[in-house]
Amino acid sequence: KKLLKYGAQYEGKRTDAAMQKWRSNRFGQFIHWGLYAIPGGEWKGKTYTYAAEFLKSSAHIPNSTWDSLQYQFNPVKFDPKTWAKMAKKMGVKYMTITTKHHEGFCLWPTQYTKFNIGNTPYKKDIIKALVDAYNSEGIDVNFYYSVLDWHHPDWRYDIKTKEDSIAFSRYLTFAQNQLKELAENYPSVKGFWFDGTWDQSIKKNGWWTLQVEQMLKSIRPGVVVNSRLRADDYGARHFDSNGKMMGDYESGYERRLPSPTDTQVIHRDWEACMTIPENQWGYHKKWDISYTKTPLELIEMLVQTTSLGGNFLLNFGPKPDGTIRIEEQQIAEHIGNWMKINSAAIYNAGHAKGWPRQDWGYFTQNETTGKLYAVVFNIPISGILKIQTLEGITISKASFLEKPDVPITVKEIAKKQVNLYLPQQSFSEPFVIILDTINENKNKYIDAKT
């Protein structure tokens, strides 16, 4: 065990109300919006297929050219209430917005750099508008902040010379000032989502990452900070050199989920963030240059994440005119229709302890009531859902969440084995079954002697 100053500050899950709210939210909307939305993955007539928010590097565009995009940023059709209403209907309980991505352009009128929304034709504070609109829909707002900053002259990828360390310490002061500004000026912020913290320069300054987390928590008690911010005394990230998670939740699942049987993740809070296209966070003019996930695939990801006790953050990349592309609107609508019926299996639900993974879908369990849900994606040819129960537990009743009066026959067929006989009907959407469980008397079934 190493003695660490900048490692994990506590062990186990936070149990305070702010963290319980963050955890119970389960489903969030990620929004990537910045100057990169203007070119939308195309430059001088050429389409670049790498992530649109990386166009500056994909197309080798110099800062002077890229930064002048700020004089074109004018989302005349931007209506934060429209976005917030769409998000509400989709069923998200929180939203995470890019206050500043790697390009360094700030969506709020920061006093620490001119490269911000105030110096665009649009002028107005987009962060404030979004915080107010989403909060008024009852949706919590978190701030994404990229420590990596392509624009700022004092950013360094590594610290090789004295000059580097002098410049980079100026940068760290700049970034800390911006974060203080965000925490103070938008008091309803519920979390900070750090990105762009993988370079040597940050790994050599683990002290700063802890200082920032502590500053944010002193200004905004209860605020939730992701593991991706932190580097420890030896440059270890997310998990310190003693294997302890840093920050309040593990944020390593980006465009990937743990396997459904990977139960080590259930011991900590975690969040998976997900693109709808294969790898586009910012707006790309061409939706179909890569595979785009269907609503049913995204619903299954949300359920799988919930079944493993994690949060699911689904990304939207708004257009430069301030509207949400039609493909994303349609996906939001489809997911929202499903959530309207089935959100009881998601909100304030998590891992059903001990219930083994089933091939027809996922178990989730309400953290407060203990109510057990089976979310079904794959109906067996037999029409019989076979459930392996917990030792000493059996299922006394099963009913559809959507239609409680439609009977589902339950038959215990052997020790820890129960059949649910589904009615003969076709299902076009994944559905939820509420399972009532009871303890069963022990010696009903005799184990074979072998």
Ligand X SMILES: Cc1ccc([C@@H]2N[C@@H](C)[C@@H](O)[C@H]2O)cc1
Interacting residues toward ligand X by CB under 6 A: 32, 51, 53, 195, 254, 273, 281
Nearer residue to ligand X within complex by CB, 4 or 175: 175
Sign, CA dihedral 321-324-326-328, equals positive
How far apart, in whole angstroms, are the C-alpha atoms of residue 18 and residue 24? 10
Residue nearest to ligand X (CB): 281
Nearer residue to ligand X within complex by CB, 53 or 250: 53
Q: Tell me the residue length of the chain.
A: 450
Q: Minimum CB separation from ligand X for residue 186, in Å?
A: 20
N-terminal to C-terminal alpha carbon distance within the chain: 45
How far apart, in whole angstroms, are the C-alpha atoms of residue 413 and residue 301? 31
Contact between 316 and 29 (Cβ < 8 Å): yes
Three-state DSSP class for 426? coil
CA angle 97, 102, 108 (to 5 degrees): 45
At 94, the amino acid letter reads Y
DSSP state of 358: B
How far apart, in whole angstroms, are the C-alpha atoms of residue 193 and residue 146? 8
How far apart, in whole angstroms, are the C-alpha atoms of residue 285 and residue 282? 10
Contact between 222 and 22 (Cβ < 8 Å): no
Nearer residue to ligand X within complex by CB, 32 or 190: 32
Q: State the residue for tokens 């998670």.
A: 245
Nearer residue to ligand X within complex by CB, 193 or 338: 193
DSSP state of 260: T
Nearer residue to ligand X within complex by CB, 193 or 362: 193
Nearer residue to ligand X within complex by CB, 53 or 269: 53
- Stated as kind and residue range, the H or E segment containing 297 is helix 295-307
Nearer residue to ligand X within complex by CB, 281 or 355: 281
